[in-house]
Amino acid sequence: MDGLMQNWSMTLDRMLDHAARWHGEREIVSRSADGIVDRTTYAQLHGRAKQASNALIAAGIRPGDRVATLGWNSARHLEIWYGAIGIGAVLHTLNPRLFPEQIVYIINHASDRIILADPACADLLGEILPQCPSVEQVIFLGDEDWIAPHSTECAWGGFDENTAAGLCYTSGTTGNPKGILYSHRSNYLHAMMTLQADALALSARDTVLLCVPMYHANAWGVVYSAPMVGAKLVLPGQRMDGASIHELIETEGVTYSSAVPTVWQMLLTHLKETGGKLTTLQRVTVGGAACPESLIRALHDDHGVDVVQGWGMTETSPLATVSVSTPQIAALSFDEQVPYKLKQGRLLCNLDLKITDDAGQRLPHDGKTFGRLMIKGPTIAAAYFGGEGGDVLDEEGFFDTGDVSTIDTAGYMQITDRAKDVIKSGGEWISSMDVENIAVGHPKAELCAVIGVAHPKWDERPVLLVMLKPGEVAEKQEFLDFLQGKIARWWTPDDVVFVDEIPLGATGKIDKKLIRQRMAGYVLPDASAPNR
């Protein structure tokens, strides 16, 4: 027996329709590269998005065609976003921070027909377009002549909710980037899941500073969830330094934001140097990389901002776990809550997790046993675009995330490493992430990274790389002493190497692949057995 409910297809155009109709005067604020702040509303952006739809149709774009964008967070980017998905085209976000050869590969693999680009990307496009035969047209965001002749009325939706909506490629740290093809249904469900109180908890009363790039896994879904509730959106463009972020937070009354840890480190550095305060910001979500304890404590103790970790990946839409408190943990003191805040959190409803050994056997959720993290659900990739990578699911339908983690008895998952980054020393695993997240709490450290280096007896041993804060000088023993008592003795790095730069990838994560390349030929100063 079927239920007697109306058939209401979950297509993403409905989100901006809702925002325009019921939150039409709520602001969307953008800042351009030259610092000019532009203001619009959901109602106005809705009309321009429909004009963009008509312009795309006039350019010959049809359902299923890939429409690429190349740019930063702005209202112009957002109107093209909805203009494309509203007519059933596939919105393909390109990351302008990737190497040109990677962008060329991605464009060609996706067979993009048109690119809507930020004017700041003009030189990059001039370099790559001769190598991209599928691209028929390039339009620069903000080109009024392109959309002005077109009507603000356009039929949106009317297609199956399983229709492809978005295409986003992995960063390609190993091998070529792989495409994740989201559906309207998967992104719609993801937005509803993230709006839970025990997730991002956005509401119409929030002003959201969207630091997560729109080209990075749907900006963690906030491009959908914020319009869904009518939250004010603040889009920072390219200016992501601490001073610029602080200015937007204070002038726009930002209550919530999300970003990778490096963004918050830059903000904290600026606040310390200037004596600045955060008067409206209440909470932030940190993801993309593990959050150091020092950052959690600084935002909480010095500025009264609650830091909540989230975890996910391009293949998970992306948000999958959030480190919110259970009633038992919420009753603890802040110091007692910190160990749980350092974990990547508890699973959102509608998903399932397991950890397994290399043979695929399930491992216990005891908070101690490390295993390969596997996930399944309606917002999880079932395959890669174009069939890359073959069958990616195990016999139970779980996707292998490539992360190594533990899950404790309270359901908190903690990433201990990427499978390719875990250090195996004497048959035991050392978490490079744990060591570097403690080391970066040293008052002289700006960034830290840990990699495994070959050892004649123990297979691998950890080496700590440190980028000091400007003007600081340090000896390696200072960092070894700082780690003492905070990690297992045999986890202690065999060497500390001071570097001028720790490279970050296109999404703000530490690029350990490049670090390993730079450290090729490095030999440990003492290859004797570590003191365990």
Per-residue pLDDT of the chain (532 residues; tens, 9 = 90+): 999 999 999 999 999 999 999 999 999 999 988 889 999 999 999 999 999 999 999 999 999 999 999 999 999 999 999 999 999 999 999 999 888 998 999 999 999 999 999 999 999 999 999 999 999 999 999 899 999 999 999 999 999 999 999 999 987 655 688 999 999 999 999 999 999 999 999 999 999 999 999 998 889 999 999 999 999 999 999 999 999 999 999 999 999 999 988 899 999 999 999 999 999 999 999 988 778 899 999 999 999 999 999 999 999 999 999 999 999 999 999 999 999 999 999 999 999 999 999 899 999 999 999 899 999 999 999 999 999 888 999 999 999 998 999 999 999 999 987 777 878 787 677 888 889 989 999 999 999 999 999 888 888 899 999 999 999 999 999 999 999 999 888 899 999 999 999 998 777 778 888 998 999 889 888 755 454 4
| pLDDT for the residue 97 | 85
Query: pLDDT at position 173, please?
Result: 53
CB 414 within 8 A of CB 406: yes
**Residue ranges of domains in the chain:** 8-24+36-183, 421-518
CA distances from residue 185 to 46, 57, 162, 313 in whole angstroms, order as listed: 21, 23, 6, 18
Residue 34 confidence (pLDDT)? 85
The whole-angstrom separation of Cα 369 and Cα 408 is 9
End-to-end CA distance of the chain: 65
Give the integer Cα–Cα distance in Å for 196 and 185: 17
- Overall size of the chain counted in residues: 532
Q: What 3-state DSSP class applies to 100?
A: helix
pTM, two decimals, is 0.86
CATH domain 8-24+36-183 topology:
Rossmann fold (3.40.50)
Strands 428-430 and 423-425 turn out to be antiparallel
How far is it, in rounded angstroms, from Cα 54 to Cα 156?
Answer: 10
Per-residue pLDDT, 529: 47
Strands 413-418 and 399-407, bridge-based pairing: antiparallel
Name the strand (E) or helix (H) holding 194.
helix 184-194
The amino acid that residue 101 corresponds to is E
Domains 8-24+36-183 and 421-518 share a fold: no
Is the previous residue joined to 130 through a cis bond, with omega within 30 degrees of 0? no
d(CA 356, CA 449): 27
- Give the C-alpha distances (Å, rounded to integers) separating 495 from 422, 501, 503: 17, 17, 19
Asked whether the beta carbons of 307 and 341 are under 8 A apart, the reply is yes
- The reported pLDDT for the residue numbered 527 is 58
Residue with tokens 């990433």: 415
Check whether domain 421-518 has CATH 3.30.360.10, yes or no: no
Q: Which residues are catalytic?
A: 170, 315, 424, 429
Residue 532: its pLDDT value, please?
45
Among 97, 177, 231, CA closest to 508: 97
Please identify which residue in the block is written with the tokens 């909470």: 283
Q: Degrees (nearest 5) of the Cα angle 213, 215, 216?
A: 70
Q: Is the peptide bond before 318 cis (omega within 30 degrees of 0)?
A: yes
Q: Is 469 within 8 Å of 445 (Cβ atoms)?
A: yes
